[in-house]
Each structure stands twice: as structure tokens, then as C-alpha cells.
Amino acid sequence: MLQVSYLRDNKDLVLQGLAKRNFKQSSLVDDAIRHDDDRKKYQFDLDQNLAEMNRISKEIGMFMKEGRKEEAEAAKAKTAQFKENVQNLQQQLKDSEAKLQEILYLIPNIPFEKVKAGTTSDDNEIIFQSHDVHGLGEGAIPHWELAKKYNLIDFELGVKIAGAGFPVYLGKGARLQRALVQFFLDRNVEAGYEEVNPPHVVNEASGYGTGQLPDKEGQMYFINEDNLYLIPTAEVPVTNMYRDVIIDEADLPVKNTAFSQCYRREAGSYGAHVRGLNRLHQFEKVEIVRLEKPENSYAALEEMVEHVKGLLTDLELPFRILRLCGGDMGFTSAMTYDFEVWSAAQEKWLEVSSVSNFETFQANRLKCRFKGSGKTQLVHTLNGSALALPRIMAALLENNQTADGIKLPAKVAEYARFDIIG
């Protein structure tokens, strides 16, 4: 969430940033400033009335002490109007603060200066590609057919148990999933990330803290009886570990990694592009999260990009890195890099990671700050997938299929304890 003082002091810059995003509700900036003006006025009037009440109370005490009862009673009569004023002003202040907060929740983050203007994924910048890509030729089959052929994943059984988008992993398919999770976690820990195992449900405050709420697109699963949400990513509980926390400057950066199941309704997703593992309601992902001093956050972002790049290199998968345009970035992000792997059987790119810097946008909601020798400041928060499992699994199966079976890359085979699926 952007601070209203930032909107007020940098209005032109904010409007330029929102234009980069192709954001259609830029009038919300003026609305926020207007409601902040109202809030300040109500607060000023409230303070004035409280001060006058306090003055009269002291006057009443003096009159009573001196035996001037009539004057004391007259003064008491005056306080009745002030009490009514105070009650009205407190309600007006409360309403204006709530409205201001509601508006601020609707304004997305401002893109970093390197982010291009744009409206769709077609406007994203390709900044790296590891290989020239091509299909596997005649006879190659997509991962959902490979999964059935080698009894790795049962999509129909998942439909029976829960519904579409909840696959059941079997045998070597389940073992390969577990191996990939362990490989990613080990590599993240080696890179200095402390492993945590967070809850897979969060409360409303946590959802607001990282920007999943308000859920404008209806993508979160909600447990009505307990007012809890199934997490869409481990980013949410891990980042919320630091909600309402003041961190010692000497303890920065904070680096965490976590494995979790992820739950997304994916409302409105249907068609051939969501077949198999391409888009699921439940999937496994390993996440990395960082808290940084503002001046270090973009160097940290590039370091995270290099880390994910190293993971994909070890998987021996063709991949590319894109810097997203303003219109394709998430609501909370100031800059995002997407990683995509090549699906040789489907002959298309599949997103497997997003690595983002949110600057102070989440930290302002979370009230996550740090303090050193100077004043208390908001941290910058960052996170990235390292990595999401479904499309990694799809690409590994499709890109490594041979006449003898699916031959796993060396690093994967080391963790899986088998080198071929056949």
C-alpha cells in the first residue's frame, strides 16, 4: 500500500507510474488526498474540542473549590455541547480513516523506473534465453500422456477425489516431486536462506498484509466458519512473520525459504491451455523471501534472479527470463522478472517463477520496519518462486522423453535416486 504522504508529495510521478500500468482509476489518487484532507480537518477539530473541554473541566474544578456553584453549573452546561461535538467528530474521523484506507487498498504499486509501459504479456522484455528452442518432432507426446503411459500422475483419480485441478501423483511421479522439492530447498539453504515451515492457512490481516486481500479476482479459497484463507503461496505466511515487527538494522537482510502446498481457485480458467499440469488448483512450490534495506533491494533482486537462473541451469531445461511491463505486473510489485521453461511437446513457454521487488508496498501494510542509528524506516520486501513444481515437472517429462523412457538430468537423478522412467 502506498502512503498517502507519498501520493501527495509525488502526485505527478504516481500518475506517470499508474499510466505505465494502464491503470484506469487514477482518480483514486485525488480521492485519497481529499479524504486525507478531511481526516486532518476532523482530527484538528476534534483536538480543539477536546482541548476546550479540558480547559472547562479545569475551570469547573476551580469554581467548585472557590464555592462559585452557579458559575460551575454554567460551565458544566457548556461541556454538554462539546461532548456531542466530540462524539460526532470521532465518528467522522473514524469514517474518513476507513474510507481513506479503502481507497489506498485499491491503488497498485508504482513501477520501478526500468519497467516499460505496456498492457499485456506481448509487451514484456525478453532479457535472457538459455537455448534456441524447437519441438521434439514426430512421436513426441505431451506430459499428460507421458504421465498416463508411465503411471506417474492420475488426473482422473484427482477429479474423483476433489475435482479438476487436483492431480494424484503416483510411484516415481510422487518420488520425483519430493526429490525436486528437496533439491530446491537444499540449494536455497546453501544460498543463505533459512528454511521455515509456515501454516498453509492465514487470517484476514495476513491476506491484507501482503496484498492478496481485497481479493478482487476471487482467486483465494475461503474457510467461512473460521474466517481463514488457504494460502496461494508461502510468500503470504512467511512475509507475515514480520508483521508489526521492528527489525534491528544489523539483522538485515532477512532471508527465508519455505515449501508449501499452494491453493488457487483459478476462476475463469478453462480450455486446452490448462490441460494436465499447466494450471492447477493445488500445487507444490518452494519460495524465497527477503527483507532488505531500501538501498540494497534492487541488488538483492538481481541476486535472486541469478539464483533461480542457476536452479534452471542445473535442471538442464531451456528457459528464458522476461522483465514484465507495467500492465502485466502483479498489483503489489514494483518490478518483476518471470522465468519460463520451454515445453518441447506442447511447443510453448510455461511460466515457472516470478521474482519481484515490492519496495515498501507490502511493508507499509505489514508495518514491518527496521531501526539502526537513524530513524525507523520501512523495509523493502522481495520474493520469488524457487521453484513452482507443476510446469517444471511437465517440462522435465516432455523435454527428456526418449525411445527408452524419460531420462532425468544428472542433478535431478541424484536426488530422485533413479535416472530413467521407463
Q: Is residue 113 part of a domain?
A: no
Is 116 inside any structural domain? no
* 47 vs 39: CA distance, rounded Å: 12
Range of the domain at 36: 4-104
Q: Is 159 part of any known ligand binding site?
A: no
Domain endpoint, select from 72, 104, 136: 104
The grid cell for 79 is: 461541556
* Same-domain check for residues 251 and 380: yes
Instruction: Give, as one character, the DSSP assignment of residue 327.
Output: G
Give ∠ CA 402-349-187 in degrees, rounded to 5.
75
Please report which residue ranges of 123-251 form alpha helices under DSSP H. 143-149, 155-161, 171-190, 204-210, 235-240
41 and 78 in a single domain? The answer is yes
Q: Are 236 and 202 in contact (CB under 8 A)?
A: yes
Say yes or no: 84 and 158 in one domain.
no
**pLDDT tens digits, one per residue of 338-357:** 999 999 999 999 999 999 99
Q: Are residues 163 and 38 in the same domain?
A: no
The enclosing domain of 397 has a CATH number of 3.30.930.10
In this structure, are 299 and 195 located in the same domain?
yes
Local structure of residue 36 (DSSP, 8 states): H
In-domain check, residue 163: yes
- Given CA atoms 322, 327, 328, 329 in this order, what sign does their dihedral have? positive
Residues facing 129 on adjacent strands: 320
According to the annotation, is 412 in a ligand binding site? no
Phi-psi category of residue 166: left, alpha or beta, with phi > 0 → left and psi -120 to 50 → alpha: beta
Q: Containing H/E element for 322?
A: strand 319-323
On whether 269 is known to bind a ligand per the annotation, the reply is: no
Q: Which of 104, 129, 152 is the last residue of a domain?
A: 104
Distance CA 119, CA 30 (A): 23
CATH number at residue 46: 1.10.287.40
Q: Is 351 annotated as a binding residue?
A: yes
Is 120 labeled as ligand-binding? no
Q: Are residues 87 and 224 in the same domain?
A: no
Q: Is 264 annotated as a binding residue?
A: yes
C-alpha dist (Å) from residue 31 to 25, 48, 90: 10, 26, 21
With a CB cutoff of 8 Å and minimum separation 6, the contacts of 9 are none
Instruction: Examine the domain organization and report whether 96 and 212 are in the same domain.
Output: no
Kindly state the cell numbers that stand for 268. Answer: 475463469
Q: Which of 73, 104, 135 is the last residue of a domain?
A: 104
Residues 147 and 13 occupy one common structural domain? no
Instruction: Please tell me whether residues 216 and 149 are part of one structural domain.
Output: yes
Q: Is residue 322 part of a domain?
A: yes
Range list of H helices, 69-121:
69-104
CA distance 321 to 308: 10
Tell me, yes or no, whether 111 lies in a domain: no
Residues 86 and 61 in one domain: yes
Q: Was 352 annotated as part of a binding site?
A: yes
User: Based on the domain organization, do 39 and 129 belong to the same domain?
Assistant: no
Residue 112 belongs to some domain of the structure: no
Q: Is 113 annotated as a binding residue?
A: no
Q: Is 249 annotated as a binding residue?
A: no
Which residue's entry shows cell 479476482? Answer: 217
Q: Cis link prior to 50 (omega < 30° from 0)?
A: no
Does 313 show up as a binding residue in the annotation? no
Q: What is the residue-level pLDDT of the chain in tens, covering all 422 positions?
A: 999 999 999 999 999 999 999 999 999 999 999 999 999 999 999 999 999 888 988 888 888 888 888 888 787 888 888 889 999 999 999 999 999 999 999 999 999 999 999 999 999 999 999 999 988 777 889 999 999 999 999 999 999 999 999 999 999 999 999 999 999 999 999 999 999 999 999 999 999 999 999 987 889 999 999 999 999 999 999 999 999 999 999 999 999 999 999 999 987 555 556 799 999 999 999 999 999 999 999 999 999 999 999 999 999 999 999 999 999 999 999 999 999 999 999 999 999 999 999 999 999 999 999 998 889 999 999 999 999 999 999 999 999 999 999 999 999 999 999 999 99
**What total of structural domains would you count in the chain?**
2
- Does residue 249 sit in the same domain as residue 346? yes
Report residue 8 as a C-alpha cell: 501527495
Residue 114 belongs to a domain: no
Residue 413 CA to residue 44 CA, distance in Å, equals 68
The answer to whether residue 141 is domain-embedded is: yes
| Omega of the bond leading into 253 within 30 degrees of 0 (cis) | yes
